[in-house]
Amino acid sequence: TDNILGNHYKVEAFLGEGGFGIVAKCRDTKTNRAVAIKVNKSRPDILQQAKLEIFILEQLRQLDPDAANIVKWDGFFYDGERVCLNFELLDQCLWDYIRDRNNQGLPISEVGPILRQLTNALSHLGSVGIVHADLKSRNIMVVNRHESPIKVKLIDFGLACPASAVMPGDRVGTVGYSAPEVMLGLPFNEASDMWSLGLVAVELATGVPLYPGNEDYDVLKFIIETQGQPPDHVLDSVMMFTQGPENGQRLFVSLIKQMLALDANQRITPSEVLRHPFFDPKRIDATALRVPLNDNCIFIHQRASSVEIWKSRQNQ
């Protein structure tokens, strides 16, 4: 289109939309660089939300975005009544990256580095006291899908908040990724991001979300049924690596269990994740391992597997 945002951002493509407004690929006519502009609607509540996001992004300026695996923010401008946030342009969200692999799950040799980078992002957020509060595969971007190994960055701080200012009962996050304490309206902190990252890790390895559900109630019921009594009998069967040493499988599952501890106080921290033996380079020949997409692998128990539920939802 011929649309110009602000004074010098020419709209080239539409990248996505949400309740807040749209994200557009734009060309900065002054520098000829392509950027991603988040164009917020001019509604008063969305304006307020945009100001909160800017407050968080200002805190994050203390961090080096490349070293911290978070999106680079280049400030904001107004287009009429609308607040526009200027971000670096990244390639593809992790959700689409997984879908492009036909939901088969990524080889463990790729899962490890992605998980390490995202844990690094959480570690940096923790260092400035910020909770992302909406960590999911759609809010993680692959910088360039043709690079190997791939680099990922965390995006969308629209629901982020200072850990010190979390309001219990706030409805934050996305159904299927929110931690139990968030769904129950209890106080939460950085540990809620770790729960979400555990679910992203399972999704990376299996190709499908672990907790499908359109309502918090469905998801909580599913968590309680699968992780309730005894707490980890299902997670033991989440991953069945068909190739490679059993060691890699055991370490991955042990890490996931610690990320998905129902009690937030027991949940593993970013620094502990980075020291976990799963990330020990001497561990195994990682290239041999792959997690197959096989319903029986994911839940051996006689329950509808998340794969089946997920597939049926996709076909509706």
Contacts with 109 (C-beta within 8 Å, 6 or more apart), sequence order: 286, 287, 289
Tally Cβ neighbours within 10 Å of residue 256.
23
Q: Say how far apart CA 175 and CA 315 lie, in whole Å.
A: 19
**Top CATH class, 4-88:** alpha beta
Query: What does pTM read for this prediction?
Result: 0.84
Domain boundaries 92-315, corresponding CATH code = 1.10.510.10
Would you state the structure tokens that stand for residue 48, as one six-digit string?
């307020």
Mean pLDDT of 109-119: 93
Q: What is the mean pLDDT of the chain?
A: 81
Positions marked active-site = 134
SS3 state at 92? strand
Closest CA to 82 of 50, 128, 55: 50
Average pLDDT score over residue span 12-37? 95
Between 211 and 23, whose confidence is greater?
Answer: 23
DSSP state of 268: P
pLDDT score, position 103: 74
pLDDT tens track for 231-285: 444 445 444 432 334 666 778 888 998 999 888 999 999 999 999 999 987 765 4
Confirm whether residue 38 is marked as ligand binding.
yes
- Residue 84: beta bridge partners? 39, 77
Q: Could you tell me if 197 and 136 are in contact, meaning their C-beta atoms sit under 8 angstroms apart?
A: no
Rounded distance, CA 2 to CA 6, Å? Answer: 13
pLDDT score of 121 more than 90 = yes
The β-bridge partners of 93 are 141
Q: How many helices (H) and strands (E) does the chain have?
A: 10, 11
Rounded distance between C-alpha atoms, residue 101 and residue 292, angstroms: 12
Q: How far from chain centre, in Å, is Cα 64?
A: 19
Every domain of the chain and the residues it spans: 4-88, 92-315
